Amino acid sequence: MGYLVNRPERTLMEKMYFPEAIKGMGVTMRHFFRNLFGRKDTVTVQYPEVKPVYPKRYRGSHRLMHRDDGRVRCVACMLCSTACPANCITIHAGDYGDTEVEKYPVAFEIDELVCVYCGMCEEACPCDAIRMDSGVHTKPTEHRKDSRPGKVDLMQLGSLTTSKQGGIYK
């Protein structure tokens, strides 16, 4: 059951949408010339001359934190790579031997092209070894191998952490 709607017959100009196309071009040209000479409506940041202000909780590039003696805080527990939904963290564990109980990462790589910057690795880390609060954009790379920072690269962004970990080992 439908209703019959009486609509007036369109003229040839209305069928071609010519007046509407002219109105649309007028709006486009008005915005073009207004922003060409005055830049009133643009919100573009002139990067890299003007750096954007990041929020306090911005997730930048990953970094590995240091201990008091300069070693990496990571104990190769693999919790960060387990919690990562993108599976972009690769850790190869090593052992100090009989002198210490903890392991350490021989290799620690993050594939930044696969990473979704969700922060799950940071939350999963029990010893505050990995952080994403560097405030640094991921650098553009030309080759895929350059977008996989290793342990040394991640430690260069890191710093000495104020949190203490572990107890006294006998």
* pLDDT higher than threshold 60 for residue 168: no
Going by C-alpha positions, the residue among 127, 147, 121, 107 that lies closest to residue 66 is 127
Burial class (CB in 10 A: 0-12, 13-18, 19+), 26: exposed
* pLDDT higher than threshold 50 for residue 90: yes
- pLDDT interval class at 170 (50, 70, 90): very low
Given a contact cutoff of 8 angstroms between Cβ atoms, the answer to whether 104 and 94 are in contact is: yes
Name the average pLDDT for the chain.
83
- pLDDT interval class at 101 (50, 70, 90): low
CA dihedral (122, 73, 53, 146) in degrees, to 10, reads -90
The percentage of residues in the chain with a pLDDT greater than 90, rounded to a whole number, is 26
Q: How far apart are CA 30 and CA 100, in angstroms?
A: 72
Q: What is the pLDDT of residues 4-48, one digit of tens each?
A: 888 888 888 777 788 888 999 999 998 888 888 777 777 777 777
Residue in the structure block whose two tokens are 């919690």: 83
Span 75-99, mean pLDDT?
A: 89
pTM of the model: 0.64
Q: How far apart are CA 136 and CA 14, in angstroms?
A: 54
142: DSSP letter: S
- pLDDT interval class at 169 (50, 70, 90): very low
pLDDT of 107 reads 92
